[in-house]
C-alpha cells in the first residue's frame, strides 16, 4: 500500500513538473515571436454594421499605404522605425477615408505593446501574448477590432488580407528559427494530442 502511494506521488510530481516545463516553453516561445513580430490593429468606433464596414475600409486604405512603406523593411526594428516616422500620415490616410464615407470620427495612430489573443492565419498559429503593434483607433474605439501581423508580412497580399503566399513564407523562413517556424505551423490541439500520446 505504501509503495502504491509513493508511486502515485512520483507520477503526480512528474506530471506537475512536465506541465510547468510546457508552460515555460510556451511563454518563452511567445516572447521569441514577440521579439520578431510587429502587428497591425484597427479598432472600430462601435459594433454597428456601418462602423464595422468603415473599419475594414480604413484597414484597406492604411494597409495599402503601409505596405508600400514597408516593401524593403528587413526586421521588426526597421518596421517600427518606418511606422513611427509616418504616424501622422497614417492618421491622415485613415481620416481621409472616414471623411470620404461621410463620418466625422477622429482617428489616432500609435505604436503600443498590446495583449492579443491566439490567432490562426491559414496553417500558421500565433500564440496569445503581448506584441508591439500599430494601433489605429476610430472614434470611440468601442467596437470589434481587426488585427494581423505586419512584419513578417501576414497581412497584405494583392489587396487580400490574412493570405500567406510564397513570398511571405520565404520571409518567415528568414525571420524565424527552424524551431519557431515549426511551432508556428503547429496548433495547440496538435501539440496536446501528440503530448498525450
Q: Which residues, including other chains, have CB under 8 Å from residue 68's CB and lie 6 or more apart?
A: none
Q: Answer yes or no: is 24 within a domain.
A: no
Q: Answer yes or no: is 99 within a domain.
A: yes
pLDDT given at position 66: 93
Q: Answer yes or no: is 48 within a domain.
A: yes
Q: How far apart are CA 170 and CA 77, in angstroms?
A: 19
Q: Answer yes or no: is 96 within a domain.
A: yes
Per the structure, the complete domain to which residue 36 belongs is given by 30-192
Average pLDDT rounded to a whole number, residues 159-188: 58
Q: 5-14, 149-158, 182-191: which has the highest mean pLDDT?
A: 149-158
Q: Answer yes or no: is 7 within a domain.
A: no
Q: Answer yes or no: is 169 within a domain.
A: yes
Q: How far apart are CA 31 and CA 54, in angstroms?
A: 33
**What backbone phi and psi angles, to 5 degrees, belong to 90?**
-65, -45
pTM: 0.71
pLDDT, tens only, 17-64: 333 333 334 446 888 888 888 999 999 999 999 999 999 999 999 998
Higher pLDDT pick, 172 / 124 = 124
Q: Answer yes or no: is 8 within a domain.
A: no
Is 81's pLDDT higher than 90?
yes
Is 75's pLDDT higher than 80?
yes
pLDDT given at position 150: 86
pLDDT given at position 125: 76
Q: Answer yes or no: is 181 within a domain.
A: yes
All 3 cell numbers of residue 102? Answer: 461621410
Q: How far apart are CA 5 and CA 118, in angstroms?
A: 39
Number of domains in the chain: 1
Cα 17 to its chain centre, rounded Å, is: 30
All 3 cell numbers of residue 126? Answer: 500565433
Considering only 48-57, 62-71, 115-124, 180-189, which range has the smallest mean pLDDT?
180-189
Amino acid at each position: 500500500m505504501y509503495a502504491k502511494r509513493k508511486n502515485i506521488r512520483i507520477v503526480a510530481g512528474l506530471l506537475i513538473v512536465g506541465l510547468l516545463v510546457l508552460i515555460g516553453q510556451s511563454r518563452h516561445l511567445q516572447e521569441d515571436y514577440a521579439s520578431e513580430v510587429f502587428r497591425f490593429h484597427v479598432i472600430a468606433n462601435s459594433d454597428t454594421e456601418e462602423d464595422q464596414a468603415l473599419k475594414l475600409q480604413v484597414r484597406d486604405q492604411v494597409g495599402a499605404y503601409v505596405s508600400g512603406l514597408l516593401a524593403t523593411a528587413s526586421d521588426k526594428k526597421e518596421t517600427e522605425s518606418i511606422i513611427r516616422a509616418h504616424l501622422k500620415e497614417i492618421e491622415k490616410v485613415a481620416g481621409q477615408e472616414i471623411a470620404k464615407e461621410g463620418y466625422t470620427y477622429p482617428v489616432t495612430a500609435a505604436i503600443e505593446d498590446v495583449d492579443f489573443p491566439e490567432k490562426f492565419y491559414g496553417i500558421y498559429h500565433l500564440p496569445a501574448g503581448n506584441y508591439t503593434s500599430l494601433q489605429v483607433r476610430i472614434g470611440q474605439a468601442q467596437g470589434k477590432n481587426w488585427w494581423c501581423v505586419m512584419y513578417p508580412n501576414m497581412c497584405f497580399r494583392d489587396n487580400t488580407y490574412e493570405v500567406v503566399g510564397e513570398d511571405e513564407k520565404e520571409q518567415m523562413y528568414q525571420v524565424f528559427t527552424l524551431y519557431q517556424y515549426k511551432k508556428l505551423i503547429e496548433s495547440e490541439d496538435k501539440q496536446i494530442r501528440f503530448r498525450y500520446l
